[in-house]
Structure 1
Amino acid sequence: MSTSPHPSPKQLLALSVPALAVGVLSGLLLAGIDVIAEELEHVLWDSIPSSLGIGEDAHWWALVILTTIGALVGLLIWKVPGHGGHDSATVELFAPVLKLSALPGVAIVLILGLAGGVSLGPESPIIAIDVALTIWLLGKIAPGIGPQGAFMLAAAGMLGAMFGTPVAAALLMTELVAAAKRGGLLWDRLFGPLIAAGAATITMQLLHAQSFNLGLPEYTDPRLIDLATASAVALLAAVFGLAASYAMPPLHAAFRRLKHPLAYATVGGIVLGLLGWLGGPLTLFKGAKETGELIAQIDSFGTWELLGLAAIKTAALIVAAAAGFRGGRIFPAVFIGSAAGLFGYALLPDMPLALAVAAGVLGAVLAIGRNGWLALFMAAIFGGSMASLSVLTIALLPVWLIVARAPEMLVGHGEPESMDERDASYMDPHDPESAEAGPTKP
């Protein structure tokens, strides 16, 4: 993007075409990964069991599949260029930029995890793929945008694609813009990213891909008591996120004592399989579709069963991230928050259902993701109205007071998963062959 703090209308207009292209690319990339993962999921969980005469109630099949997926992921982390991308326990939503040679391995590991029922979403890996491709592509056809501008376009586009609206990208991009400390008008700097996010969102909608429309009754009549109940449910859901934050470092260290990625990913797959066996199909996979199924089947679960689902999904998320599987935490956090919210609704039947689910999502996403904008936005989707937004904004405050000083669900970079400590899977701005890729961090 232009280095001028006040880009002209002509410069902003010139940014529109590449921003639209990046947005469409982001939507197509996410939709493509989803389609491949869903087809593989159908083979693993439907076609193969059916051909072997295994019934749908055979929960032990999860152990077989996840153990196999764990071994395959461990083998790929060991052998493929780039080692499957970033260790999910060590990075947040935006991570250092990968080299192009690492992207096929990242995509394969991500697809295996999504199809195999691993409790991680696509967020960080799919953003990493999109960012690397966009930086390379715009470096060739629109070098004036620069690596930092390309990074923001790709990140915004993929956020729009994943969360179904450009507003999510606008909120998160404000933090990146503020972090850049480059001056200028905020909306000048958000111009391109918002176009990319909007184009990606529309692309996904035209493809009838991902949606968070779960058919919850709209929350329209706030009451004073709702401030207390929403805060209580949000705090309850945040407990699961805080438990994950405290459990991640020791569990990550325990898996790494196995030394080899093939060993710890396979063991992780076995543990995930056992958890899937215990919790059933709803506790598998990234959690987006399963959240809708959980809400639709609320009458099928007892009060404490709902709490158990939240606990099992939390355990599965921690194990998946600690054992080397690649993926993001936001989608599983939405499921955890929804289950916790439904538990709160079961205890407080006078509480509106949409508000209970929204408050649970608020608490879990805030504790696990540590991004207030994202937590508030994801919760508002489930609340479905401006009335819910006002209540959720107040409910966010006590949760933030608790989670802000707690450790994040991250660990420091431990032993490299590569057999070579000088792993060259990241773009080096000082390397002439990859200088066009720009900085290694946003």
Structure 2
Amino acid sequence: MKLLGLGNLFLYSIFIGGITGLLTWSFLAVVSVTTHLIWSDIPKMMDMKYWTILICLIGGVLVGLCQKYFGNYPRTMDQVMAEFKTTKRIDYRSLYKSVITAICVLSFGASLGPEAALVGIVGGLATWSGDAIKSFVKKRTVLKEHGEIVIEYSVEAAVGMIFRSPLFGASTLLEDKKDSKRMKWIKTLVYAVTTAAGFIIFILLSKIDNRQFTLADFGAAHVGVNELVAIIPLILLGVLFAKLYEWFGHILHNVLKPLEQYKVIKAVIGGLMLGLIGTLLPITMFSGEHELTELAVEWTHMSAYLLLGIGIVKLFLTEFCLASGWRGGHIFPIIFAGVSIGYGIAMLFPVDPVTSITVVTTALSSAVLQKPIAVVLLFVMLFPIKLIVLIVLAAYLPMFVFKLKWRTPKVS
């Protein structure tokens, strides 16, 4: 009976993994279509000056109305996962609010990523599926007992798909050391099956809209004497920019806090800032996923100070969006900012550019997210594998050397 129960859990993991891949691709495809419509198709039919500012103001009105009538959606990754750890489920009654608000935020150019919305969507639907099964299965079974594990790893798989990193969810396995040997085997099975099924569906569906599986090609890395000498300074710079990002958030949230009861006005102010900066530096808009590919190709044609400026502005704009009610994920924007800053440093000093962007981005991301294992598993799929030792150092040194006592909780 135990084997039968594990078999049912295996099949359930395949099913939920496939649904996760379908939902992730569908959500990203809808956002891609609406974004293309707003920023490409309509402008071709209308010759209008200051289109970026106009569209971002309209987006501000829509986001503000969503915040006013729906509430603070989409919820952050931290909020959703905190709910799951407490209740072993993710509420699905307000999924439509998250979907509508997230599509408005992402389609109208916010410097934010889709992971916050997808965590709630995938986790909510996995919870609903588990509730449906439990209503049919009255007696205690392996499936009924461990169904929440599938919810957890469906969420991890969805985030992994966004960042094209199937190893991302393994961070949960490595971080949880209290489980018994049997539970570790069950979790490993569920994670592997759910992730594999999800990625297979996601990759197959991505052929429909020609979605690339790799985020960007940064080229080969070279590690010599200069790079070895520069490792610690580069890590320190990454931590410094993480501090700057936190400072932006602290200042902007305090400045806009008096407008908390005026959701539409606050969101329109966010839209105005987004439009103004987007007009001057279009590359700082959106999550940074597609812009990362552009940056990897065009950075040699930019000055060091422009690259540094783009990275700093990206961090500022991301926090301005979050502070003004444009809610979403900040992982992609942080990665983009780190890469831009890393390229700028490589132009100023004799250090390999790929090594520079890898160390700076890893240190910055780890300092902000405070999840070194997840950062390592994410970036071994993004940067050259030969830099794995530097990635591990850059991920862990900000945590264990500096302890980041200055850090306050972040919105993700």
- Shorter-chain TM-score: which interval? 0.7 to 0.9
The aligned counterpart of 2:34 is: 40
CA contact (8 A) 2:346 2:353 kept: yes
| Alpha-carbon distance in 2 for matches of 1:74, 1:162 | 26
From 61, 68, 72, the counterpart of 2:62: 72
The aligned counterpart of 2:196 is: 198
The aligned counterpart of 2:120 is: 128
The aligned counterpart of 1:364 is: 364
CA contact (8 A) 1:164 1:210 kept: no
1:274-313 alignment, distance < 5 Å: 274-279=276-281, 281-313=282-314
Deviations 1:286-345 (A, max 9, x none): 111111111110122101000000011001111111111221111111101110111122
| Alpha-carbon distance in 1 for matches of 2:335, 2:377 | 12
From 85, 94, 99, the counterpart of 2:81: 94
2:63 counterpart of 1:62? no
CA contact (8 A) 2:112 2:333 kept: yes
The aligned counterpart of 1:161 is: 161
The aligned counterpart of 1:103 is: 95
| Alpha-carbon distance in 2 for matches of 1:112, 1:284 | 14
For 1:22, the aligned partner's letter is I
Q: Give the % identical residues.
A: 22
| Alpha-carbon distance in 2 for matches of 1:154, 1:35 | 19
Q: Which segment is superposed worse, 298-307 or 192-201?
A: 192-201
With the length of structure 2 as denominator, give the TM-score of the two structures: 0.87
The aligned counterpart of 2:269 is: 267
Structure 1 residue 33: deviation in Å?
1.2
| Alpha-carbon distance in 2 for matches of 1:293, 1:93 | 32
2:170 counterpart of 1:170? yes
The aligned counterpart of 2:352 is: 352
| Alpha-carbon distance in 1 for matches of 2:166, 2:227 | 29
CA contact (8 A) 2:376 2:395 kept: yes
With the length of structure 1 as denominator, give the TM-score of the two structures: 0.81
Structure 1 residue 171: deviation in Å?
1.8
Structure 1 residue 71: deviation in Å?
1.3
Relative to structure 1, is the Cα distance of residues 145 and 218 closer, same or farther in structure 2, using a 3 angstrom cutoff? farther
| Alpha-carbon distance in 2 for matches of 1:160, 1:285 | 19
Deviations 1:64-111 (A, max 9, x none): 22221111011011113x55232x4x9467343653331111011111
From 5, 12, 24, the counterpart of 2:6: 12
Structure 1 residue 118: deviation in Å?
0.3
2:170 counterpart of 1:183? no
| Alpha-carbon distance in 2 for matches of 1:403, 1:40 | 42
For 1:355, the aligned partner's letter is T
The aligned counterpart of 1:235 is: 236
Structure 1 residue 170: deviation in Å?
0.8
Deviations 1:137-174 (A, max 9, x none): 12212560556324313222213322223211112343
| Alpha-carbon distance in 2 for matches of 1:277, 1:403 | 39
Task: Tell me how large the CA RMSD over aligned residues is.
Answer: 2.5
Structure 1 residue 38: deviation in Å?
1.1
The aligned counterpart of 2:87 is: none
| Alpha-carbon distance in 2 for matches of 1:411, 1:282 | 23
The aligned counterpart of 1:138 is: 130
5+ residue gaps, structure 2: 85-89, 135-142
Relative to structure 1, is the Cα distance of residues 225 and 188 closer, same or farther in structure 2, using a 3 angstrom cutoff? farther
Relative to structure 1, is the Cα distance of residues 211 and 235 closer, same or farther in structure 2, using a 3 angstrom cutoff? farther
Structure 1 residue 232: deviation in Å?
2.5
Q: What secondary structure sits across from 1:167 in the alignment?
A: coil
| Alpha-carbon distance in 2 for matches of 1:252, 1:216 | 35
CA contact (8 A) 2:245 2:316 kept: yes
CA contact (8 A) 1:256 1:264 kept: no
CA contact (8 A) 1:121 1:327 kept: yes
The aligned counterpart of 2:138 is: none
The aligned counterpart of 1:436 is: none
CA contact (8 A) 1:19 1:195 kept: yes
Q: What secondary structure sits across from 2:326 in the alignment?
A: coil
For 1:257, the aligned partner's letter is P
CA contact (8 A) 1:361 1:375 kept: no
The aligned counterpart of 2:375 is: 375
For 2:356, the aligned partner's letter is A
For 1:205, the aligned partner's letter is I
| Alpha-carbon distance in 2 for matches of 1:138, 1:308 | 47
| Alpha-carbon distance in 1 for matches of 2:170, 2:47 | 49
For 1:84, the aligned partner's letter is Y
CA contact (8 A) 1:236 1:360 kept: yes
| Alpha-carbon distance in 2 for matches of 1:76, 1:85 | 10
Structure 1 residue 359: deviation in Å?
1.5
Q: What secondary structure sits across from 1:297 in the alignment?
A: helix
